[in-house]
Amino acid sequence: MSAQMSRKKASAFDRQLIWRALGDSFHKLSPAWMVKNPVMFVVEVGSALSTVVAIRLYAQGQIPVADFTMQIAVWLWLTVLFANFAEALAEGRGHAQAAALRGTKVSATAKRQKGSIWEEVAATELRRGDVVMCSAGDLIPSDGTVIKGAAAIDESAITGESAPVIREAGGDKSAVTGGTRILSDEVWIEVTANPGETFLDRMIGLIEGAVRQKTPNEIALAILLAGLTLIFVVVVMTTEAFAQYSGLHLQLVILVALLVCLAPTTIGGLLSAIGISGMDRLLRHNVLAMSGRAIEAAGDVNVIMLDKTGTLTYGNRMATEFMPLPGVEIRDLAQCALIASLADDTPEGRSIVALAKEQFGLEDPQSGSEPPVYHPFTAQTRMSGVDLGAHQVRKGAPDAVAAYVGGVPAELEKALTEIVEGIAHQGGTPLAVADGGRVIGVVHLKDIVKVGIRDRIAAIRKSGIRTVMITGDNPITARTIADEVGIDECLAQATPEKKLEYIEQQKAEGYLVAMVGDGTNDAPALAAADVAVAMNSGTSAAREAANMVDLDSNPIKLIDIVEIGKQILITRGALTTFSIANDVAKYFAILPAMFVPIFPGLEALNVMHLTSPESAVLSAVIFNALIIPMLIPLALRGVRYRPQSAATTLRNNLFVYGLGGLFLPFIGIKLLDMMITALGLVALR
């Protein structure tokens, strides 16, 4: 998993962050800022109005009414401040991260090629296409591609990973990032970004700018919330007219209290915090999203394309079984295979040694008097082996080994063919072993699925996402692995063109596709995919084409990204439902309090048996204010996402946030009313 990053230590409840957020909550009271959030702006206007009314009442000497009005005003202000605090806290975490990143952006200089000479220039003067030279100890001045040489680079400033990485010219590991440091050697780098457009710049911009860009779903929700608020403004205004007609004069502060309680302040106050914290959560997973839109798209994905090698399997074939020919002891085969692999340092070779030792308790053979003679693998012989004393063991491609021993006896040929074909059919690789001029058996090498990957695939499928495996293998081999992992579909013998074609076909059918890529030839497919995650170790072309970058270069993280995308949406939906459901209880607190003086029968609606109209209104307002800070942790952490069918998720969330939202305020308001009564906060009639 991802490395612990220094900037991750910034806990949500870090004291310094909280102090800063507190300060910011007051700065944000500026109407120019508040007006961007219509729900909370309405609350602020209401707070100001109530305050003015309270002051006037004090001036008129109506102390008890003024006390009550002032208490309402104070709680309304607190409602606004709590909402601002939630936003400031979420922003604060982003700012802290941005600051940490900015720290790495020291003013570097660079050696730029000018004709045949190198000139010293400031990093900020570098343009796309410039070529610079960096050597050990230098800070890489800008994003670029290594065009000459290779170097070990410390990328911990970006990834938090302290182990150095190798970057070299050509191939898929040529991209370097500005702000990282060369540890050894010297490279020529072609700059790929203009000043202000580098990866680091964009990263800082994104973290800081998270609050400004709203995602599509957030915009839609904001419209709904503004609409609801507008409706409630009309509801409250007309209620005054209806009450007047019924012969009742309502106090302004009560109407304001009703409006604030009805307006969806809970979600309105937490909406931006949810969005910011989503991006933040992704960053904690060391994934950088280029836009909030991309994160949301991740939640919507229907198809996930995963590379087999390196993502689903360890990427190396391993020995799983020794299969002797008739007349050969399996132990002897294992022994020979062990000897043949002694000098084989490839993962396959090591796995043969390990299997032989594990299954038969064999040990490294004692080297006899003669030193062993090693025959390394070559493309021509397609086998390797050792001459050790009496043994002359070879292992390799079955046909090559058969040719080496000068043909297999007819009676054994059939058995050998059967074994070899059987292995191939299961998607494995057969490796024939010969000893002293005769084939004695076959080692079954196969792809080993990563630990725990099956469960993750099963989980992602439960949430209705189709998984597709991309592999260069033939279809039979591919299917075998796919079945083993629980993958729905496989794209065998995949070429970049085939990947692109597949993605476009899926999109034409209306599916959203997510994929991971690192090579330059992945770029077209990445650009086509809805969610495209580039590995940080990949080429800059891949990073350009993608809309997310995984700093850990761990492809299976795609699943985490999808889950985080879903989590953000769920949190928004759940808190909206909760907020709206809350209104019912608030009505039952405030309406009887408002209307009982003229229609005593409406006391029947006071189901909570609140002490007095004043205490009822005050408890509703306090509940409405306090619920915001109480839900900040949930907004920042996100509602828990479990992979399961949409219907089940909805049922559970509706139960918790819908029904919970309906009933919780009844309890909360009643408790607050009891406290208010006990403390004597409002004058009793």
Partner 1 sequence: MTLVGIGGIVLFLVVVTLVVKPVGLYLYNVFDGGRTWLDPVLAPVERAIYKVGGVNPAKEMRWTEYLFALLAFNLVGFVLLYPVLRLQGVLPLNPQHLPAVGAHVAWNTAVSFVTNTNWQAYGGESTLSYLSQMWLTVQQFLSPITGLAMVLALIRGLTRKNATTLGNFWVDLTRAFLWIALPVAAVAALVLIALGTPQNLAPYTIVHTLQGAKQILPQGPVASMTSIMQFGDNGGGYFNTNAGYPFETPNAASLMFQLTLGFLVPVGLTYYFGKKAGDTRQGWTIFAAMMVMFMFGVFVTYWAEAAGNPIVSHLLQHAVPNMTGKETRFGVAGSSLFETGTTAVSWGSTAAANDSFTPIGSLILLFNMMSGEVIIGAWGVGLIGMLAFAILAVFLAGLMVGRTPEYLGKKIQAYEVKMATLAMIVPTFVILGFAAWAVSSRGGVSGIFNPGPQGLSEVLYAFSSGVGNNGSAMGGLNAASPFYTWTVGFAMLIGRFPMYIPALAIAGSMVKKQRVPPSIGTFPTNGWLFGLLLIGTVVIVGALVFFPALALGPLAEQFAMQAGHLFGGVPK
Question: What is the smallest separation between the CB atom of 599 and partner 1, expressed in angstroms?
Answer: 4
Rounded to whole angstroms, the Cα distance separating 46 from 458 reads 51
Q: In the range 269-288, which residues lie near partner 1 by CB under 8 A? A: none
Q: Give 256's contacts (C-beta < 8 A, 6+ positions apart).
A: 46, 49, 50, 72, 76
- The answer to whether residue 251 forms part of the interface with partner 1 (CB under 8 A) is no
By beta-carbon proximity to partner 1, the closer residue of 230 and 683 is 230
The answer to the question of residue 299 lying near partner 1 (CB under 8 A) is yes
Q: Which of residues 514-573 bind partner 1 (CB under 8 A)?
A: 565-567, 569-570, 572-573
CB of 524 to partner 1, least distance (A): 21
Q: Is residue 74 a contact residue for partner 1 (CB under 8 A)?
A: no
Smallest distance from partner 1 to CB 608, Å = 16
For partner 1, the binding residues in 502-521 under the rule CB under 8 A are 509-512
- The 10 Å CB-count burial string (b at 16+, else e) for 48-58 is bbbbebbeebe
**Cα angle: 549, vertex 290, 634; to 5 degrees:** 95
CB of 294 to partner 1, least distance (A): 13
Site for partner 1 in 145-174 (CB under 8 A): none
The answer to whether residue 674 forms part of the interface with partner 1 (CB under 8 A) is: no
Q: Cα separations (Å) of 182 from 86, 117, 151, 304, 366?
A: 41, 22, 7, 36, 45
Distance separating alpha carbons of residues 90 and 272, to the nearest angstrom: 8
- Site track 603-632 with partner 1 (rule: CB under 8 A), x = hit: -xx---------------------------
Residue whose CB is less far from partner 1, 316 or 652: 652
Among 2, 265, 286, 463, binds partner 1 (CB under 8 A): 463
The β-bridge relationship of strands 303-307 and 466-470 is: parallel
Cα 651 → chain centroid: 25
Phi first, then psi: give them for residue 460, nearest 5 degrees.
Answer: -70, -30
- Whether residue 631 contacts residue 656, with contact meaning beta carbons closer than 8 Å, is answered with no
Which 582-601 residues touch partner 1, going by CB under 8 A? 583-584, 587, 591, 594-595, 598-601
Within positions 172 to 231, which residues make up the interface with partner 1, using CB under 8 A?
A: 216-217, 219-221, 223-224, 227-228, 230-231
Residue 131 neighbours by CB distance under 10 Å: 17
Tell me: does residue 38 bind partner 1 (CB under 8 A).
Answer: no
How many chain residues touch partner 1 (CB under 8 A)? 75
**AA identity, residue 365:** P
Query: Which residues between 367 and 426 bind partner 1 (CB under 8 A)?
Result: none
Minimum CB separation from partner 1 for residue 82, in Å?
Answer: 23
Instruction: Based on the shown chain and the rule CB under 8 A, indicate whether residue 602 belongs to the binding site for partner 1.
Output: yes
Minimum distance from CB of 605 to partner 1 (Å)? Answer: 7
DSSP state of 600: G
Q: Which residues are catalytic?
A: 307
Nearest approach in angstroms of CB 580 to partner 1 is 7
Kindly identify the residues of this chain, within the stretch 220-249, that bind partner 1 according to CB under 8 A.
220-221, 223-224, 227-228, 230-232, 234-239, 241-246
Alpha-helical runs (H) found in 467-556: 475-485, 496-508, 523-528, 540-545
**Which one of 192-200, 204-212, 332-340, 462-470 is the stretch in contact with partner 1 (CB under 8 A)?**
462-470
641 binds partner 1 (CB under 8 A): yes
Please say whether the beta carbons of 623 and 629 come within 8 A: no
Distance CA 505, CA 508 (A): 5
Where does this chain touch partner 1 (CB under 8 A) — which range of 54-62, 113-121, 298-306, 404-412? 298-306
Q: Are 477 and 338 within 8 A, CB to CB?
A: no
Considering only residues 465 through 494, tell me which ones interact with partner 1, judged by CB under 8 A.
465-466
What is the dihedral sign for C-alpha 222, 224, 225, 229? Answer: positive
